[in-house]
Amino acid sequence: MARPVVAIVGRPNVGKSTIFNRIIGDRLAIVEDKPGVTRDRLYGSGEWNGRAFSIVDTGGIEIDGEDEIMKSVRMQAELAVEEADVIVFMVDAKAGLTHADDEVAHMLFRSRKPVVVAVNKVDNQGRSDEIYEFYSLGFGDPIGISGAHGTGIGDLLDAVVEKLPVIEDDEYDEDVIRVALIGRPNVGKSSLVNAILGEERVIVSDVAGTTRDAIDTPFEHDGQKYVLIDTAGMRKRGKVYETTEKYSVMRAMKAIERADVVLILINGEEGIIEQDKHIAGYAHEAGRASVFVVNKWDVVEKDDKTMQHFEQNIRDHFLFMTYAPIVFLSAKTKQRLHKLLPVVNRVSEQHSMRIQTHLLNDVVADAIAINPPPTDKGKRLRINYVTQVAVKPPTIVIFANDPELMHFSYQRYLENKIRAAFEFEGTPVRLVTRRKSEED
């Protein structure tokens, strides 16, 4: 199910990244007391009162700044506003209401989105009166918060959750494989969609997806039903939106949340860049089955080792996704295109695979016999039993005497042994260690 999106916006240095980190409970954003430190938008997941949402931290909107970084930051913020369902407009109690705040407010009024004003740096009782001047922004009751001390965050989230829309579940049958195409611009997402559909010529219909701007295209091949979720479309509003396309990860995130299988497109002509790793990382963290698709293979100069070298390059860059298969193809010429859907079917099946408990325990018992858990300060991890509790992705709980004794390297060892026995091609496998209770 796709989550609603909350964007935190405001001029530079009002504390957006600090609040973002508090809401997601992790220090993902760079925090430094210097304007303009947050360059790219950052994304995370939040939950409050049972409502889950995606949250995006933008760079500061510098309305008058024409230097290249500030222009880029402003574009990113505008795109985040375009994608958001609710906007948290952050201002600074210490600085008071500024001309830049008024300019941001005008931009937010034009968006016609629900806005919650958060007045940051209300660090003591004496400063609480300073929130009143922000009523003049015209967005209702401002909420005083302190990023430094964590006060007022609950009140802020109450106001945000109240404005979140309810997004309905996708109305697709269980046997439909939902396939999202993600990747940076110019890797050929639209071309690949057209190639797949043109090859089969069995489009059922074009229906607007439940998330803005994504187009869901159902089709069927060899008796298997699919839905392609294409994230390539951009609403082009002049040069700003053409330029910001390279920063648009939000659509990819929305598509990933709704997908069973994610095709991570890489431009075979240009090779791998850092942005490819960020985009792939979202699919991995979301627990989706994934396939690397190297497109434009027709224009790559090749010898008998080219494919092998490119594959090794992918493995070196994406060490956290060694489970994902790689398909080389050309959407333009349809070279090797026939190999793609069989791989999608296979990883989708592995993503949904459930292993019987006794088989899992046999594999783990053998792994422990070969390589017993190491001791930590005289204590040794003792694994009682394991069981699979979920699919999509396969999630395995390890019951043990003390979860804190499970070192990440030993957990990785167990995962490798489980993969060797059951494959789980194309899908992350989540291992969770819990203390064995009397009930268990």
The annotation places the binding site for GTP at 10-17, 57-61, 120-123, 183-190, 230-234, 295-298
Q: Which residues pair with 327 in a beta bridge?
A: 293
Question: Going by C-beta distance under 8 Å and a sequence separation of 6 or more, which residues neighbour residue 11?
Answer: 60, 61, 62, 63, 98, 100, 101, 104
CA distances in angstroms from 235 to 79, 212, 244, 251, listed in the order given: 10, 10, 11, 12
Total count of residues recorded for the chain? 440
In the three-class reduction of DSSP (H, G, I as helix; E, B as strand; rest coil), residue 132 is classed as helix
What span, in angstroms and rounded, lies between the C-alpha atoms of 134 and 140? 9
Residue 344 burial (CB count, 10 A): 24
**Which is nearest to 279 in space by CA: 294, 298, 260, 266?**
266
Binding residues: 10-17, 57-61, 120-123, 183-190, 230-234, 295-298
229-234 CB contacts, 8 Å cutoff, 24+ apart: 229/178, 229/179, 229/180, 229/181, 229/255, 229/258, 229/259, 230/181, 230/189, 230/190, 230/193, 231/180, 231/181, 231/182, 231/189, 231/255, 232/181, 232/189, 232/190, 232/193, 233/190
Give residue 330's region: left, alpha or beta (phi > 0; psi -120 to 50). beta
Cis peptide before 393 (omega within 30 of 0): yes
Of 102, 141, 148, 144, which Cα lies nearest the Cα of 125?
144
- Between CA 426 and CA 260 the distance in angstroms is 11
